[in-house]
Structure 1
Amino acid sequence: GARLWVGDRLLINSWRPMRGYSSGAIWLPSGMREVRMEYYECTGVALARLDWQLVSRP
C-alpha cells in the first residue's frame, strides 16, 4: 500500500495490498513543497518509487 502527500493534500491513498502502481497528477506553481510518501509491504518483495516530471507550458 502507499500514500503520497504534497503539502497537506493527500494525492494517493491506496493503503491496502496492491499490485501494479498508483499515480496522480497535480499542478503546482513554482516554489518548494513538502512531499511525503509512506508505503508498506506484506510479501517481502515490495518496491516503492517516486518519480516526477516538469511540464513546460507553451
Structure 2
Amino acid sequence: MERKTLTVQEVAEYLGVHRDTIYAMVRQKQIPHFRIRRRILFSREAIDAWIREQESTIVAM
C-alpha cells in the first residue's frame, strides 16, 4: 500500500528545494500541511493540487 503522506524532506525533494525552504513555507502558511504532535506532514494529493494552483496563478499573470 502506497503512503499518502510525505515528510518535510520528501516534499523538499519532490519540489526540488531545500528542507529549510519547506519549514519557512510552513511557518508562513504558504503550503498545505498538517501536524501530528510535533511532526509536520503533507498530503500527496494536497501538494499536487497546490502545485497545479501555483502553475495556474503563474499563467494568469
TM-score interval, smaller chain: under 0.3
Higher helix share: 2
Higher strand share: 1
Under a length normalisation based on structure 1, what TM-score does the superposition of the two structures give? 0.24
Under a length normalisation based on structure 2, what TM-score does the superposition of the two structures give? 0.23
User: Which of structures 1 and 2 has the bigger CA Rg?
Assistant: 1
